[in-house]
Structure 1
Amino acid sequence: MTDKPNDSSEADGSTQSGQGASAAGRAATSPFDSPTGQMRKTDPKDIPRTDDDLGLDPGDEVPAAGAGKTGSGDADKDYGYATIPPAAATSAEAVRLQRRNREPRRGTLDLGLFVLRLVVGYTFIYHGLQKLTGWFHGPGLDGTKTMMESGGWDYPSLATALVIAGELGGGILLVIGLATPLAAGAVLATILSAWMWKQGMVPGFQYNAGTPTGVELDSVLAGAALAIILTGPGRWSFDRTRGWATRPAYGSFVVVLLAIAAAIVTFWFLHGGNPLQGVGPF
Structure 2
Amino acid sequence: MTSSKPGDDPARTEILHDVDYPLDVPDAPGREGGSGGAGDTATTAFPAAGPTDYSQFAESGGYDMSAPLPFGDQPATIEPATRDTIGRRGTIDLGLFVLRVTVGILLAMRGLQKLFGMFGGPGIDGFTQTLTDSGFDHARILAIAGGAVELVAGVMLVVGLATPVAAAGLLGLVGLGIAVRLTGTDPVPVLSDTTRGLEPSILYAAAMVALLFSGPGRWSADRKWGWSHRPRFSGVVWLVIVAVIAALAWYFLNGTNPLSSTADSAPVTAG
Identity among equivalent positions (%) equals 35
Which has more radius of gyration?
Answer: 1
Out of 219, 225, 246, the position equivalent to 1:236 is: 219
1:82-97 aligned at under 5 Å gives the runs: none
- The answer to whether structure 1 residue 133 and structure 2 residue 116 are counterparts is yes
**C-alpha contact 1:202 1:213 (8 A) present in aligned 2:** no
2 CA distance for matches of 1:212 and 1:266? 28
Question: Could you say if the C-alpha distance between residues 32 and 276 of structure 1 is closer, same or farther in structure 2, counting changes exceeding 3 Å?
Answer: farther
User: 1:51-73: CA deviations, max 9, x gaps?
Assistant: xxxxxxxxxxxxxxxxxxxxxxx
Residue in 1 aligned with 2:85?
A: 99
Separation in 1 of the partners of 2:196 and 2:184?
A: 7
Partners of 2:124 and 2:140 within 8 A in 1: no
Aligned CA distance change for structure 1 residues 265 and 211 (closer, same or farther; 3 Å): farther
CA distance 1:77–1:235, change in 2 (3 Å):
closer
TM-score, normalised on structure 2? Answer: 0.64
The CA deviation string for residues 56-105 of structure 1, in whole angstroms up to 9 with x for no partner, is: xxxxxxxxxxxxxxxxxxx94789xx899xxxxxxxxxx879824xx2x2
Task: Count residues with an aligned counterpart.
Answer: 199
Deviation string, structure 1 residues 215-269 (Cα, Å, up to 9, x no partner): 2211110111111001000001000010000111122111122222222222112
Give the gaps of 5 or more residues in structure 1.
1-28, 34-74, 85-94
User: Gapped runs of 5+ residues in structure 2?
Assistant: 1-17, 23-48, 54-65, 69-80, 262-266
Are the structure 2 counterparts of residues 269 and 32 from structure 1 closer, same or farther at C-alpha, using a change threshold of 3 Å? farther
What is the aligned partner in structure 2 of residue 170 from structure 1?
Answer: 153
Distance 1:256 1:78, change over 3 A: same
Alpha carbons 2:92, 2:217 under 8 Å: kept: yes
Q: Please name the residue that 1:251 is paired with.
A: 234
Q: Deviations over 1:185-218 (max 9, x none)?
A: 1000011001111012249875234576732211
What is residue 117 of structure 1 aligned with on the other side? 100
Among 164, 167, 170, the alignment partner of 1:181 is 164
- Tell me if structure 2 keeps the 8 A contact 1:208–1:214: yes
Q: Is the 8 A contact 1:125 1:171 kept in 2?
A: yes
- Please identify which structure carries the higher helix content: 1
Aligned-residue CA RMSD (Å): 3.4
The alignment's TM-score, normalised by the length of structure 1, stands at 0.62
